[in-house]
Chain A
């Protein structure tokens, strides 16, 4: 038995970093949602400043994976873990950016924390949060089955987004003077819909990592 302690150590470190990214990105989304609901603009600001930490984690994942590719020449499942790590880290980095967008939007919805449309945004963000957590768990436990079930949640996010579009269009027809607010609602809803797509992509990476097959979980 040949010792590949160093490679195993790097793989383990990548697992830890992806887990940390997922936790921080998930927390950012939770805080952004709370900021929107409570109109806590200070909290929204903290989401924005905290994003740099998630960006730094992505860079660390990329650095470790790049150096490991160059020095350890991983193949087979080890190689697939490296490929998946690059992609999943990028997906979480992007997810965290969407959390920042949601936080920035908080003040736009001042005075209407309980409106039906803002509640819909909140439901989308909660679904996204579950997807982020589930994806990280699927990556950590190397579970393509969990990845597939997490990706399936994206349909619910998409349905909420579609309903949001319909409702906002109705709103624009009824109250054209609220066009700016309507546009903001649609943009924010679009961000949350894209966040779900990123988690779906990350779940596809998990399936590739474990099984070596490429699947489209978006169907």
Chain B
């Protein structure tokens, strides 16, 4: 079980120039986490790449708190592009233009006063391929927390994060060993632990199990079920069965448009749109 023992208040914002304001609503407190609105409220978001290709068109979607939302769709439908836009990762791709709003605690994360580093701490990302730092298992957790201003008990943070990722029992006796010596599935759980160590509110996951074997996939799917009691999880997956197994809500994107967004059970049993039906039943895509 998850042991969320570490207080968010142990994070102290690192020194920033006075000219860079800190998002007021991004100071996490328990009350923030208990409010009723969506975890992320995306409004009319469009994303255009430098070559003029519009990858996402006018996306409006409210992600419910502490639940798993799967984004599905054929290759090139814009799902990964959309996911990266939720925590401003697309800004790292030169020439990418994002319009619309991504409201987090009512604040547009694209607002001029918002620090993208803070956004990415509060809205974490786990990628398709495990990408641990070439450091020890311990440092993989500690490093990110340290540079983000963690002042609490580091050993405690490392343990609780690894426990959250269901990895503690497997690595507790080898924390000083290189993370690169872990198996692929363990590395991916380490990356999840690393994201959890920053105490995000939302975890974005871009096909986090596509490079893993069935057993490792199963462990991570089970893990998501536990993590959603603490975090809001938005996962992009090509695996329709996985979306059906793990998610509470599912969004279907097709050629940059949101076609259908519904409770997963409904979408997989009685989809409303013919295109959804054809895609999830494997008749195109």
Chain A residues proximal to chain B, CB less than 8 Å: 1-2, 4, 7, 73-80, 211-213
Instruction: Say whether B282 contacts A2, CB under 8 Å.
Output: yes
Query: Judging by beta carbons under 8 Å apart, are A2 and B271 in contact?
Result: no
B53 within 8 A of A: no
Q: In the bound complex, do residue A75 and residue B283 qualify as a contact, i.e. CB atoms below 8 Å apart? A: no
CA–CA, A4 and B278, complex, Å = 11
A69 to chain B, nearest CB (A): 11
Q: Say whether, besides A212-B269, A212-B270, A75 and B284 are in contact (CB < 8 Å).
A: no
B269–A4 touching, CB < 8 Å: no
A80 to B268, CA, bound (A): 10
9 closest A-B pairs by beta carbon, nearest first, are A212-B270, A76-B277, A75-B268, A75-B280, A2-B282, A76-B271, A76-B281, A78-B281, A4-B282
Flag if B281 contacts A74 (CB, 8 Å): yes
* Contact across chains for A75 and B270 when beta carbons are under 8 A apart: no
Cβ of A2 and Cβ of B283 under 8 Å apart? yes
User: Does B284 lie within 8 Å of A76, measured CB to CB?
Assistant: no
| B112 at interface, CB cutoff 8 A | no
Interface residues on B, range: 10 to 19
Please state if A1 and B284 are interface contacts (CB–CB under 8 Å).
yes
Q: Does B241 contact A (CB under 8 A)?
A: yes
* Residue of A1, A7, A73, A80 touching B269 (CB-CB under 8 A): A80
Q: Flag whether B182 is at the interface (Cβ < 8 A).
A: no
Which residues, 262 to 276 on B, are CB-close (under 8 Å) to A? 268-271, 276
Q: How far is the CA of A113 from the CA of B271 in the complex (A)?
A: 54
How many residue pairs, one in A and one in B, have C-beta atoms under 8 Å apart? 38
Task: Give the chain A neighbours of B269 by CB distance below 8 A.
Answer: 75-76, 79-80, 212
> Which residues of chain A are within 8 angstroms of B271 by Cβ–Cβ distance?
76
Q: A76-B277, A79-B269, A212-B269 are in contact. Are A2 and B240 (CB under 8 A)?
A: no
CA distance A7 to B282 in the complex (A): 10
Chain A residues with CB under 8 Å of B281's CB are 4, 74-78
Contact residues of B with A, CB < 8 Å?
Answer: 240-241, 244, 268-271, 276-277, 280-285
Q: Show 6 A/B contacts (Cβ-Cβ < 8 Å), sorted by A.
A: A4-B283, A73-B241, A75-B280, A76-B270, A76-B271, A77-B277
Please give, as numbers and ranges, the residues of chain B lying within 8 Å of A76 by CB-CB distance.
Answer: 268-271, 276-277, 280-281
A77 to B273: give the CA distance in the assembly, Å.
12
Point out the residue from A1, A73, A80, A213 that lies within 8 Å of B283, measured CB to CB: A1
B278 CB, min distance to chain A CBs, angstroms: 9
Please indicate the chain A residues that have their CB under 8 angstroms from the CB of B240 in the complex. Answer: 73, 75
Instruction: Give the docked Cα–Cα distance between A77 and B276 (Å).
Output: 11
Q: Check B283–A79 contact: CB distance below 8 A.
A: no
Instruction: Tell me, in angstroms, the Cα distance from A80 to B269 when the chains sit together.
Output: 7
Q: Contact: B268 with A79, CB < 8 Å?
A: yes
Given known A-B contacts A73-B240, A75-B280, A77-B277, A2 and B270 have beta carbons under 8 A apart: no
- Least CB distance from B284 to A in Å reads 5
Q: Across the interface, which residues of A come within 8 angstroms of B282, CB to CB?
A: 2, 4, 7
A35 vs chain B, min Cβ distance (A): 43
- When distances are taken between beta carbons in the complex, the residues of chain B under 8 Å from A79 are 268-269
Instruction: Give A80 Cβ to nearest chain B Cβ, in Å.
Output: 7
> Quick one: closest B residue to A73, CB to CB?
B241
From A213, which residue of chain B is reached at the shortest CB distance? B270
Residue of A nearest to B266 (CB): A212
Cβ–Cβ < 8 Å partners of A7 in chain B: 282
Which residues from A are CB-within-8-Å of B280?
Answer: 75-76
Query: How far apart are the CA atoms of A77 and B284 in the complex, in Å?
Result: 15
Given A75-B280, A79-B269, 18 more A-B residue pairs with CB atoms under 8 Å apart are A1-B284, A2-B282, A2-B283, A2-B284, A2-B285, A4-B282, A4-B283, A7-B282, A73-B240, A74-B281, A75-B244, A76-B270, A76-B276, A76-B280, A77-B281, A80-B270, A212-B269, A212-B270
